[in-house]
Chains A and B, each alone.
Chain A
Amino acid sequence: MHVEGATQAPLIVFSGVTKVYGKGNATVEALQGIDLCIEEGEFVAIMGPSGSGKSTCMNILGCLDTPTGGTYMFRDVNVGMLTRNQRALLRRHYQGFIFQGYNLLSRTSALENVELPLLYRGAGVRERRQHAMEALETVGLKGWESHTPSELSGGQQQRVAIARAIVTNPAVLLADEPTGNLDTARSREIMDVLTALNGDGGITIVMITHEPDMALYAKRQIHFLDGLVVSDKPNGGKG
């Protein structure tokens, strides 16, 4: 599957996206009509208290979930119309994920962890190795290829996870509280890596965070509250 869009078109467009969980009287409206537009090359921080709908929004952005109402266009493709497998392919080719808990495969070397998405793409051994090495070098982990997650610090594990997310050269990097488990110094390292990727690689980044310090690294901040966007403004700088 290939998604070709005009370069000027926004990468992500939400129009009146709603999400309702449950049925009958026990329904919960997680998103109450979100309008959002994210251009290629942006670095967006999504903030808000728990239950504000930011995680639901992220799941929909990452095509793990579909909106109940409204439309989600990813590069001119209506994600709501795609099947489960088509969404898997969209994730595989255009999106990279970073989680709060790193979610690396245990007892598996950093290199093999980073190679994983390429395996699903059906890349050859040499291509896989080369791209994985490059990605690890980008996040500053050259020389740590053969280490397993248990032999790496939290910050290093998160950098392996970033390498895994960018190894396929995705259009957008979706980060769900990437610094949530890290101390301030490690968090800053991770944010520096992300900033560099956004600046040099031109990768679009959408990041959920509840730490205002980390949100300052982004170029734009969106605040969620009770399933609605309450503020959406560009950042002044790194504070």
Chain B
Amino acid sequence: MLWNTVLLALREIRRNVMRSFLTILGIVIGVGAVITMVTIGGGATLQVKQQISSMGSNMLMVSPGKRLGPGQSSGNVPFKEADAEAISREVGSIAAVAPVSSQSSQAIFGNQNWTTQVTGSDNQYFYVTNRTVATGRQFSESELRAGAAVCIIGETVRKKLFGGQDALGEKIRLQKLSCEVIGLLEGKGQSSMGMDQDDVVVIPLRTLQRRVTGKQDIGMIQVSVQQGASTDKALKDIAKLMRERRHLAPSDDDNFNVMDMKEISKMLTGTTELLTALLSAVAAVSLLVGGIGIMNIMLVSVTERTREIGVRLAIGAMEREVLMQFLVEAVVLSSLGGIIGIILALAASIWLTGLLRVPFVFNGPIVFVAFLFSAAVGMIFGYFPALKAARLDPIEALRHE
């Protein structure tokens, strides 16, 4: 009997294809928008999480300047190499400390040139940033101490300068410095900020200071906390040490900034999750509006089909069968809208995630919930018109013009 009712409903929808389509448009857009938002938001969150874990979740970044907000700082009193040494010496449960300084520079090999980030550091840098030298070797102690003209290059730089050629042992030019490629870094892909992490040339810190920038400053200190140790405690210890070394009075604010990757991770994913929730809420409102649209059309439909309802009652339809017919019609309509919305949302999500370069994460539960919700919208907003139809007096209904 239920199948027959569904069949009747489908026949009704087929009788009025254009109107049915317009009726469900609200549901289509609502469901589509909710699923698209959640899918893209989920992809963005996953991407941020992946990239942060690829940076090493137990990493701390110590940079000069006051902390104003995420990624902002002001007032620069730069660090010296001695600060990094002090951290590694005086703070407990530290696995590695890497002083890092960077400078944008052109790298030239033969007739190829490429503008890249030249980073000066030591071998700890690879550990702290979770990078490995894929081929070749790390810096030797003497190279680091003497500031030798050697470099380890990222995958993007290798591709741009050498193409298919073997890079190891070749010499590339960084401004006035000509240095030998002794190693190639393993590829890491894009960072959460959309930066290419493979677009990098690493040289010994001393080489950078003496022969590229000409300054003794270091840009920041990257610290890796021992596995299992508390990053919070390390963070506080470093902050305390830095305040001492920078002679800050208790009333002064920090003129440096220690950032915890977990903190950044939470902040970034929190932002995307909040945005997703907000956008989904807006989209959910359109589902509600879509439901009202269905109720409106069903009410019109009941009035328009009063005679038909009279015929059905005269033929022997019972009250609950007429109720069921209109209810099922509303539910079938809205579910159809849900299904179309889901299909459109998946297509849009695949397209948009490709465009925004975030991973496509199929969120099964949200698709299921959106479908159930669309069906429920039909049920709720279809009930009143259906009841109105079922309560009609057959004689009056048959007389209706």
Alpha-carbon separation in the docked complex, A233 to B257 (Å): 111
One digit per residue, 1 when the CB lies within 8 angstroms of any chain A CB and 0 when it does not, for chain B 1-37 equals 1001001100100011000000000000000000000
Cβ-based interface call for B321 (8 A): yes
- Residues of A contacting B285 with CB < 8 Å? none
One digit per residue, 1 when the CB lies within 8 angstroms of any chain A CB and 0 when it does not, for chain B 299-313 equals 000000001101111
Contact B7 A119 (CB under 8 A): yes
**A12-44 interface with B by 8 A CB criterion:** none
Cβ-based interface call for B395 (8 A): yes
Contact B4 A92 (CB under 8 A): no
- Residues of B contacting A103 with CB < 8 Å? 307-308, 310-311, 398
| Contact A91-B395, Cβ < 8 Å, known A105-B308, A107-B15 | no
For A62, give its contact among B307, B314, B320 (CB under 8 Å). Answer: B314
| Interface core residue of B7, B316, B395 (most chain A CB under 10 Å) | B316
Contact B319 A108 (CB under 8 A): no
Alpha-carbon separation in the docked complex, A111 to B217 (Å): 90
Cβ-based interface call for B278 (8 A): no
Cβ-based interface call for A93 (8 A): yes
Instruction: Give the residue name and chain of the A residue nearest to B310 (CB).
Output: A103
| Contact A117-B11, Cβ < 8 Å, known A64-B394, A64-B395, A105-B308 | no
- Residues of A contacting B317 with CB < 8 Å? 88, 92, 120
Contact A108 B11 (CB under 8 A): yes
Cβ-based interface call for B193 (8 A): no
Q: Determine chain B's interface SS by DSSP, over half rule.
A: helix
Contact A97 B321 (CB under 8 A): no
For B316, give its contact among A65, A88, A99, A112 (CB under 8 Å). Answer: A88
Alpha-carbon separation in the docked complex, A93 to B318 (Å): 12
| Contact A88-B313, Cβ < 8 Å, known A65-B395, A107-B15, A119-B8 | yes
Contact B395 A120 (CB under 8 A): no
| Contact A108-B15, Cβ < 8 Å, known A65-B395, A122-B4 | yes
Contact A97 B15 (CB under 8 A): no
Cβ-based interface call for B315 (8 A): yes
- Residues of B contacting A116 with CB < 8 Å? 312, 315
Cβ-based interface call for A59 (8 A): yes
- Residues of B contacting A99 with CB < 8 Å? 311, 398
Alpha-carbon separation in the docked complex, A124 to B317 (Å): 17
Cβ-based interface call for A89 (8 A): yes
Cβ-based interface call for A106 (8 A): yes
The smallest beta-carbon distance between B13 and chain A, in angstroms, is 11
Instruction: Give the residue name and chain of the B residue nearest to A148 (CB).
Output: B15
**B134-165 interface with A by 8 A CB criterion:** none
Alpha-carbon separation in the docked complex, A88 to B394 (Å): 10
Alpha-carbon separation in the docked complex, A85 to B15 (Å): 28
Alpha-carbon separation in the docked complex, A95 to B315 (Å): 8
Instruction: Give the residue name and chain of the A residue nearest to B16 (CB).
Output: A107
Contact A89 B316 (CB under 8 A): yes
Contact B314 A106 (CB under 8 A): no
For B315, give its contact among A106, A108, A117 (CB under 8 Å). Answer: A117
Alpha-carbon separation in the docked complex, A88 to B392 (Å): 13
**A104-142 interface with B by 8 A CB criterion:** 105-108, 112, 116-117, 119-120, 122
The smallest beta-carbon distance between A96 and chain B, in angstroms, is 8
Alpha-carbon separation in the docked complex, A74 to B1 (Å): 27
- Residues of A contacting B316 with CB < 8 Å? 88-93, 95, 117, 120
Alpha-carbon separation in the docked complex, A108 to B394 (Å): 21
- Residues of A contacting B310 with CB < 8 Å? 103
Contact B314 A85 (CB under 8 A): no
Cβ-based interface call for A84 (8 A): yes
Alpha-carbon separation in the docked complex, A120 to B8 (Å): 10
Alpha-carbon separation in the docked complex, A91 to B394 (Å): 12
The smallest beta-carbon distance between B15 and chain A, in angstroms, is 4
The smallest beta-carbon distance between A32 and chain B, in angstroms, is 20
Alpha-carbon separation in the docked complex, A116 to B320 (Å): 16
| Interface core residue of B1, B4, B319, B320 (most chain A CB under 10 Å) | B4
The smallest beta-carbon distance between A174 and chain B, in angstroms, is 9
- Residues of B contacting A62 with CB < 8 Å? 314
Instruction: Give the residue name and chain of the B residue nearest to A109 (CB).
Output: B11
Contact A119 B4 (CB under 8 A): yes
- Residues of A contacting B312 with CB < 8 Å? 116, 120
For A89, give its contact among B1, B15, B318 (CB under 8 Å). Answer: B318
One digit per residue, 1 when the CB lies within 8 angstroms of any chain A CB and 0 when it does not, for chain B 374-395 equals 0000000000000000000011
The smallest beta-carbon distance between B194 and chain A, in angstroms, is 55
Alpha-carbon separation in the docked complex, A91 to B321 (Å): 14
24 examples of A-B residue contacts, CB within 8 angstroms: A59-B395, A64-B313, A64-B314, A65-B395, A88-B313, A88-B317, A88-B319, A89-B316, A93-B316, A95-B316, A99-B398, A103-B398, A105-B311, A107-B15, A107-B16, A108-B11, A112-B11, A116-B312, A119-B4, A119-B8, A120-B315, A120-B317, A122-B1, A122-B4
Residue ranges of B at the interface with A (Cβ–Cβ < 8 Å): 1, 4, 7-8, 11, 15-16, 307-308, 310-321, 394-395, 398
The list of the 8 closest CB pairs from A to B, nearest first, reads A92-B316, A91-B316, A107-B15, A88-B318, A103-B311, A85-B318, A97-B314, A64-B394
